[in-house]
Structure 1
Amino acid sequence: MLRKNHEKSDIFFQGQELDIKSAVPLYYQLKELIQAQIADNHWRQGQMIPSENELAEAFKVSSGTVKKALGELVSQGLLTRRQGKGTFVAKPDFNKSFIRFFRFGSKKEGVFPHSKVLASGTVDPMPEVAKALKLEPGQRTILIRRLRILEDIPLMLEDIHLPEEIFKGFDELDISQKLLYPIYDRKYHTPIIWAEEFLKPLTATQEAAGYLAIEPGQAVISIERIAYTYQDRPVEFRKSLGRGDKFSYHIEIR
């Protein structure tokens, strides 16, 4: 099995070498090469990469150099180590953010909201969306507006913008009972690697209040998310409005 992985690493890195004369540290060069291989889908989420010894042999560097390169990728969340098994391309779970922000009023384990798609189609993005997704003038986005519902209670209204050039046809899919990020990965080969979120309190407009079954002017929480794929490319801009009476922020700091 290890020999097979080593043969793969020879193929993936064929023609690529580290420049020992460069001012850029060797561990950083190796880190960049590994990131590029993952970005090109040579290694997909959940797949094991070559071992430290195999990488050290392939690039003629010390195991310490390899360990430092992999260590930084692990700390960034791109790779994960499984004791006794090896190093794997990480599979981040961003669906837990919903649990982090909103309490459902349900004690059932594993209960998640379902979605009702209110509108979908291709649009000219607003300036804030174009800026967040780093779009060129004239590039369009697919807009999905959906309502997140749990046990008949509407909890969150979401507008999701995706670059049309990457996600053609996404607005024609039935996503009411599906998680979005697995679709991004499997159908569009665009896994989400990391995301940043911005929270702020607002009051509900008449339109938002109608969807969330609350009174206009009641408190809502706005969550803006920019989600990135490999090489820090933004591929999703999501603006969510959640009911303030269901909001309860939770985070663990270790």
Structure 2
Amino acid sequence: MSKPLIELCVEGIDGFLAAQAAGADRVELCASLLEGGLTPSLATIRAAVKAAHIPVHVIIRPRGGDFLYSEAEFASMLEDVTALRTEGVSGVVIGCLTPDGRIDEARTKALVEAARPMSVTCHRAFDMTADAGEALEALVRCGVDRVLTSGQRDTAVEGIAILKQAVEQAAGRIVIMGCGGLDAANIRTVRDATGLTELHFAALTTVPSGMVFRNPHVGMGGTEKDREYQLTITDESAVRETIAAAKS
């Protein structure tokens, strides 16, 4: 069996640098992973591309929550994709649904057309569709290059049957990239049971803030006040261990 390609999901420039140093084959660059990943700033994207010796894919997601976007939100997504064509980015990561849980083919096709020649991945909006098999065919029709999925379950281990089915259905027409709670202990099991050739994980850990002064009277952004003094970072050693397991 050939060794799978490993994509790391990271937040910000520090996360990118840690993933690259730990041996990732490709990175999905995001902001705000606590919301599942939002589009990072242009300066962050440029810093990553400048430092990169692996492909950088950028998530195009204007907000958290569902994948049913207003006209104004969708217009901003198209603008982001168009802008990134000249920034040295290798790919974009998108996902748009209709209210009844199907792939929004009109919007997906428009984003694919705007993205070329960049690669296009559909993110886990796929996992929120009503029918995985139908959604996969829709993505093929739209010309999407790969789909990120946990097999419509919380974790890839739970979604193994659907992941295997998706790989068989895809039959080389679109890449199935598995994700969902993957780590050094389970990634080989998922790889071997599904036939996945691309795997995706985050390897996040929480560390204390370096702030010495802490104002007990105010919190920012509606989060718990303790959260103000915690940082969620990419755990470089966990990345190395998981990649080693996946490629062994």
User: Per the shorter chain, which TM-score range?
Assistant: under 0.3
Larger radius of gyration: 1
TM-score norm. by structure 1 comes to: 0.24
Structure ranking higher in helix proportion: 2
The answer to which structure, 1 or 2, has the higher relative contact order (CA under 8 A, 6+ apart) is 2
